[in-house]
Amino acid sequence: MRKHFKNYAVIWAIALVVFNAVVFIAPNESEKYSKFGGAFWAGYTLIMLAFIGQFAVSYFFFKEENKDKVFLNLPMFSWSLTCLVMSLVFGTALMIIPEVPQWLGAIIALVILGFYAIAVIASQGAAEVVSQIGNQVTQNTAFIKEMTLNAENTLSKAKTDEAKEIAKKVYEALRYSNKSSHSGLDEIEGKIKAAFSEFSDAITSDDDEMAKSTGSSLLDLITERDKKAKLQK
């Protein structure tokens, strides 16, 4: 994403130069009012601050390499563009309407900038909350995902029909087990890991009797875990 920021920065710079060129090169066609009178400077300051704020948001947005975080930050980036457009519209109006007093222009500019800041900060805050929830969900499902992968590998090592049968049962039990995990399941999950280690060793050593015995105990533990997981939802 960083390489895209360079292209965006060029576009931003061109837009800023063009804006300033139009503002200061355009002649003053009114003999009654000064070109820089009224709320001109309030409008100009509003637009310049909007440009700077949008550039800062863009840098934060484009520097992110994680695709999920880029997606979550998209509303923030969209809001920054929307606020820039709003600032251009209202700022230009303040600059070209000489009847608007400076104090009123300053108030309008502050309100728009305040809205700009709140919208961007709220969008960023929402993105962080969603990201934290996503990370928590990933952590809560890590145990079963890891054990399912281990069970699949163990199944591939089974050589006899009996070993394959019990290994398949263990794999399917883990595959369809309750994915959610929490601190209340730490003890039972520790027992499952220990039992699975014994079961895997039995499969690897071609000890069918031990595989059946440890596999049966392991299945009981998985069932017990699922019951506890349901009770604590």
More confidently predicted of 111 and 2:
111
CA pair distance 118, 210, nearest whole angstrom: 64
pLDDT at 233: 54
The pLDDT of residue 224:
85
State the pLDDT at residue 8. 83
User: pLDDT tens, 114-143?
Assistant: 888 887 777 776 656 555 555 554 555 677
Taking all residues of the chain, what is their mean pLDDT, rounded to a whole number?
80
pLDDT for 62 equals 76
Q: Is the pLDDT of residue 146 over 80?
A: yes
> pLDDT tens digits, residue range 151-202?
888 888 888 888 888 889 988 888 888 777 666 777 888 888 898 899 889 8
pLDDT of residue 183: 64
Residue 207 has pLDDT above 70, yes or no: yes
Domain residue extents for the chain: 2-135, 142-231
Instruction: State pTM to two decimals.
Output: 0.52
pLDDT of residue 215: 86
Q: How confident is the model at residue 28 (pLDDT cuts 50, 70, 90)?
A: low
The band of 103, judged by pLDDT with boundaries at 50, 70 and 90, is confident
30: which 2 tokens?
């009114």
